[in-house]
Amino acid sequence: MKKRVWISILEKNEGLGRMIFEEAAKYGLNPAGHFWEDDLAKLAWAGAVPELGRGDCAVWLIVGQAASFAQPSIRRGLALLALSAQAAHGHNFPILLSPSGGKVDVAGLPTPLRGAEVVASGLGVKAVARANRKLAEPVLEYRLAVHPLPGLGLWFEVGPAHDPWKGAFLGCTGMDATPDAHGVGLAGTIPQNATVNYPVRGMKLHLDGREATAWGVHNDLSPAESYYVRIAGVPDGLIFGPFPDLDDVDVFTVSLV
């Protein structure tokens, strides 16, 4: 079975799309993709979540003008989509960027995109090489997933990867973003009903010099369980981890812009 490559083209350019699809197919990949829709309010990026999460999807190509990679709304959407791909495939899931009209500084991208590779030429060759290269998965202490549900909102899922957590919290930065619902349940599925122990709302924390608003619970979480938080709006960044009752608690941060 051919490995699948998902192609996101940030500007509508059908000629460019045909050329990239043909090049990917030439090197033995099964291409599929879309033209990017820049509409965070409608969770437009969420349409690609099932495609990138497919078991045969082996690499993600993002093609566009350097100016588009610099646009905050596009960066947020790409970062959220990258989170979903990494939750499905692991943090070493290969992401290739092909900018034109300028350069893209990978180190300055949102956290989920900082492992991406910029490709100036030979996109087909690089894509098939990355699709067939296996890398050791980094050891992380947490699990993080995103669940965009049109009509039900933007949910984030966090939980322990290995050692159980004594409670959990998640907060966000962003002028128009705030937690507004939460629950605890089995990993991978937002619970319809949940019992939360000693819930806390409106905690104030600091992330990269900015104030974050967080919610939390004191439920004990095993690696098979998760804390789910819905965010109203689109956050600039996330801060999360075990509930911060102790001085030496682990706190994790993710930039989305």
Q: Nearest Cα to 99, choosing from 65, 61, 59?
A: 65
pTM of the model: 0.96
Residue carrying the six token digits 């949102």 = 110
Kindly report, residue by residue over 96-108, the tens digit of the pLDDT.
999 999 999 999 9
Per-residue model confidence (pLDDT) at position 234 = 93
Q: Nearest Cα to 68, choosing from 102, 92, 112?
A: 102
Q: How many Å separate Cα 251 from the centre of its chain?
A: 18
Ranges of the chain whose pLDDT falls below 50: none
Q: Nearest Cα to 93, choosing from 189, 5, 224?
A: 5
Indicate the SS3 state at residue 137.
coil
Which residues does 24 contact at the CB level (< 8 Å), separation at least 6?
Answer: 5, 7, 30, 31, 61, 123, 124, 127
**Residue 220 CA neighbour count, 13 Å, CB half:** 3
Per-residue model confidence (pLDDT) at position 247 = 64
Kindly report, residue by residue over 110-124, the tens digit of the pLDDT.
999 999 999 989 999
